[in-house]
Amino acid sequence: MSKINLLKPDKQNLSTYLYSGSFLFFIAIFDVFLSSFFGINITSFLPNSISFLLPLILGIVGLHLIRIEFSGIKNLDLLNKNINTSTFNAVLTLLIIFTVIKSIPPIMSWFIIDANIAGDTKEACTGSGACWTYIKIWLNRFIYGMYPNELQWRINISFILLIALAFVGLIPSEKIKKFLTLYYVVIYPIIAFILIYYLISGGSLGLEWVETGAWGGLSLTFIVSFFCLIFCFPVGMFLALGRRSELPTLRYISVGFIEFWRGVPLITVLFMSSVMFPMFLPEDFFMDKLVRVIIAISLFEAAYVAEVIRGGLQALPRGQYDAAKSLGMGYWKMHIFVILPQALKLVIPGIANTFLALVKDTPLIFVVGLLEIVGMLNLAKTNPKWLGFAMEGYVFAAIIFWIICYAMSRYSYNLELKYKTER
Amino acid sequence: MSDKIIEMKNVNKWFGDFQVLKDVNLEVNQKQKIVVCGPSGSGKSTLIRCINRLEEHQKGTIIVDGNELTEDTKNIEKIRAEVGMVFQQFNLFPHLSILDNCTLAPIWVKKMPKKQAEEMATKQLEKVQIVDQAKKFPGQLSGGQQQRAAIARALCMEPKIMLFDEPTSALDPEMIKEVLDAMVNLAKGGMTMIVVTHEMGFAKEVADEVIFMDEGMIVERAATKEFFANPKSDRTKLFLSQIL
């Protein structure tokens, strides 16, 4: 056994360094764990500051001892390469681990351990954690807004039908596959509109009319997002093509449109749609508030989508245009079969980005008096019987939005993989 | 019927202030094979790109198969469908399989039934010997295979004229031959061809006439043997001495 030099761990005494280093490292973690979860300080006999810093010091020494290059142990090498390349990295690693350990107990206690969900009044919430009772009692409003309780089956049926119809693309039949694009781009939105117009809105077929002002909550979030996504995409695509058109009039109109909508804040657009727009309409012409809002958001987002798609169009080599033209394809054939499929594939991440932003912008429709989920939360938190639960509400909304957006993000990532081809 | 298929008279073209084509006159008969050579920047590519109007000329007339190419673009797609073109960078459509690359234009431009288009594509891919790659995507093929697929794609439109814009310049040396072989076969089949290339071996084997261009002008046009044996202008002699 050769001499042990604590400053320079080497391969000869691998096991000595490894065991002593790991031991110190785990002592450090254990110390933080105990103090975080059980409030026990095993080093309380030391002066305060040393006791506070001890886990970090032990951890640094421990990680230093196991920092042995080319040890021959695969996992150790991997560990050293990724989180333990230098003392600085070791400190960062330790601080991150400590922060995670330290933050688990308070989060757990707020969310679960000290939280309440039983009862139906504010008084049931006695713990120091979250009051999920509040969410539970108001959940119906958060989902359906002011939609009458006894009519909510109409929303449920519409959404179940729409979700079911969205999976038509999975039917493995060659006959159907031909029409899938047509189905998703044209037929599906029309079905969605019919369902929402006749079933959710009602007013005919013996169904009671529910004015859009009463719609709200998560279902409104979905309705607004869904139609805005569907409308803004084709509009954006035509704007992108228009901006690259050889016809000057078309080009200037597209540029003007895009720059106008990109230049104004969404909140003012929404205001104008509800306050100013009706002034320009004839007296007897009525357009629903919700319809106006959807049109406004769609046009607003279309400008962003247009610029994203234009980026994709510009990324294509000129040779693709040349080749398509040389085969006798006209403008539309060239774009439909050659240019757009490639350009759109390139901009899937950018489109997804825009769509996520759109979904998260929907709460702004509160300025015209439409209350989707965040709007309902704001309403609920000012209810005199339920004052003081803003935190629970916003955490709830954050979780809901995160689930929606993460699902969209995964979907876009899958699309990217599906259409990935080698160049 | 005259057997002139391409007629260019006093064609001039500018890129901004820079004149790329200066009073170019060119007549090509049916089934003629013409090789265009010259130093880079001499306007060779622009010349053949003018023939299917990928570039617009500003002065002079170009008549392709009896149709004059003008601003009025009503029939330009019809003319392009009759003129096949093969590019230096292959320009296959990367999102489509080789077979779909070949059938796309016949189906959508010539309104050919899908089955017939696929038979045609298979036939053309057989001719260039890559029918076994039909289901693959362009990115999975070697440069030589891609260029041969591009030739097959152009042939699927049953063009009357084939234009080649430096078809072998982007290829590794060992792949040049397979592409040239495909072109030689095509020439033997009686296709009207205009080929911009530096492959003088190919010119000697296939071409009826060779055109030498420099600074946007046709400096010399002669029958192939004559061109290599007795070049007239000094510029041609210099060029030949450098590349042979």
Each residue's pLDDT tens digit, A178-208: 777 777 778 888 888 888 887 777 777 767 7
Q: Are residues A59 and A106 in the same domain?
A: yes
| Structure confidence at residue A350 (pLDDT) | 92
CA distances A185 to A229, A293, A337, A408, B19, Å, are 11, 21, 16, 18, 48
Residues contacting residue A185 through CB under 8 Å, at least 6 positions apart: A234
**B54: closest chain A residue by CA:** A322
- Chain A residues with beta carbon closer than 8 angstroms to that of B90: 319
Q: Are residues A274 and A143 in the same domain?
A: yes
Q: Are residues A231 and A331 in the same domain?
A: yes
**B88: closest chain A residue by CA:** A319
Q: Burial level of A75, CB count in 10 A (0-12/13-18/19+)?
A: exposed
The token duo for A222 is: 């979905």
B41 has pLDDT over 70: yes
Mean pLDDT of B157-186: 91
Whether residue A171 lies inside any domain: the answer is no
Q: Are residues A302 and A386 in the same domain?
A: yes
Length of chain B in terms of residues written: 244
Identity of the amino acid at B55: E
What range defines the domain where residue A83 resides?
14-112
Length of chain A in terms of residues written: 423
Q: Are residues A66 and A94 in the same domain?
A: yes
State pTM to two decimals. Answer: 0.84
Residues contacting residue A234 through CB under 8 Å, at least 6 positions apart: A185
Q: What is the mean pLDDT of chain B?
A: 90
What residues 30-89 of chain B have any CB closer than 8 A to a CB of chain A?
Answer: 52, 54, 77-78, 80-85, 87, 89
Whether residue A378 lies inside any domain: the answer is yes
Query: Tokens 């792949």 label which residue?
Result: B175
A328–B137 C-beta distance less than 8 A: no
Q: Is the minimum CB–CB distance between B15 and chain A shorter than 8 Å? A: no
Torsion of CA A409, A414, A418, A423, to 10 degrees: 60
Tens of pLDDT, residues A355-407: 999 999 888 888 888 888 888 888 888 888 878 788 888 898 999 999 999 99
Q: Are residues A40 and A141 in the same domain?
A: no
Query: Tokens 């004149």 label which residue?
Result: B19
Interface test with B, best of A247, A325, A327, A415 (most B CBs within 10 A): A327
Whether residue A292 lies inside any domain: the answer is yes
- Chain B residues with beta carbon closer than 8 angstroms to that of A337: 104, 108
Indicate whether this complex's ipTM tops 0.95. Answer: no
| Structure confidence at residue B117 (pLDDT) | 93
B83–A422 C-beta distance less than 8 A: no
Distance of alpha carbon A257 from alpha carbon A377, whole angstroms: 35
A327–B137 C-beta distance less than 8 A: no
| Structure confidence at residue B1 (pLDDT) | 44
Question: Is the CB of residue A198 less than 8 Å from the CB of residue A274?
Answer: no
What residues 13-32 of chain A have any CB closer than 8 A to a CB of chain B?
Answer: none
Q: Considering only CA atoms, which of B19, B51, B2 is closest in space to residue B211?
A: B51
B92–A330 C-beta distance less than 8 A: no
| Structure confidence at residue A421 (pLDDT) | 62
**A327: closest chain B residue by CA:** B81
| Structure confidence at residue A2 (pLDDT) | 58
Q: Are residues A97 and A138 in the same domain?
A: no
Whether residue A160 lies inside any domain: the answer is no
| Structure confidence at residue A4 (pLDDT) | 67
3-state DSSP call for residue B112?
coil
3-state DSSP call for residue B214?
strand
Q: Are residues A18 and A141 in the same domain?
A: no
pLDDT averaged per 10 residues in sequence order, chain A, 423 residues: 66 81 89 85 78 86 84 81 86 91 88 79 77 82 82 83 81 73 81 82 74 83 90 92 92 93 91 80 77 90 94 92 92 91 90 92 86 85 81 89 92 86 55
Q: Are residues A279 and A377 in the same domain?
A: yes
3-state DSSP call for residue A397?
helix
Mean pLDDT of B60-72: 85
Q: Are residues A95 and A236 in the same domain?
A: no
Q: What is the CATH number of the domain that holds A405?
A: 1.10.3720.10
Whether residue A170 lies inside any domain: the answer is no
Whether residue A34 lies inside any domain: the answer is yes
Residue A178 neighbours by CB distance under 10 Å: 10
Per-residue pLDDT band at B192 (split at 50, 70, 90):
very high
Q: Are residues A103 and A230 in the same domain?
A: no
Q: Domains in chain A: how many in total?
A: 2
Rounded percentage of chain B residues whose pLDDT exceeds 90: 57
| Structure confidence at residue A393 (pLDDT) | 85
Q: Considering only CA atoms, which of A180, A122, A159, A89 is closest in space to residue A385?
A: A122
Whether residue A23 lies inside any domain: the answer is yes
Q: Which of A317, A328, A341 sits opposite B80 (nearest CB)?
A: A328
Distance of alpha carbon A400 from alpha carbon A373, whole angstroms: 9
Distance of alpha carbon B71 from alpha carbon A69, whole angstroms: 72
Q: Are residues A137 and A247 in the same domain?
A: yes
3-state DSSP call for residue A124?
helix
For residue A21, how far is the Cα from the chain centroid?
A: 42
CA distances B165 to B11, B42, B45, B91, B157, Å, are 19, 13, 6, 12, 18
**B106: closest chain A residue by CA:** A327
Stretch among A274-278, B43-47, B184-188 having the lowest mean pLDDT = A274-278
Q: Calculate how close chain B gets to A358, using CA atoms only, in Å.
A: 29
Identity of the amino acid at B146: Q
Whether residue A26 lies inside any domain: the answer is yes
Q: Burial level of A81, CB count in 10 A (0-12/13-18/19+)?
A: exposed
Distance of alpha carbon A224 from alpha carbon A294, whole angstroms: 6
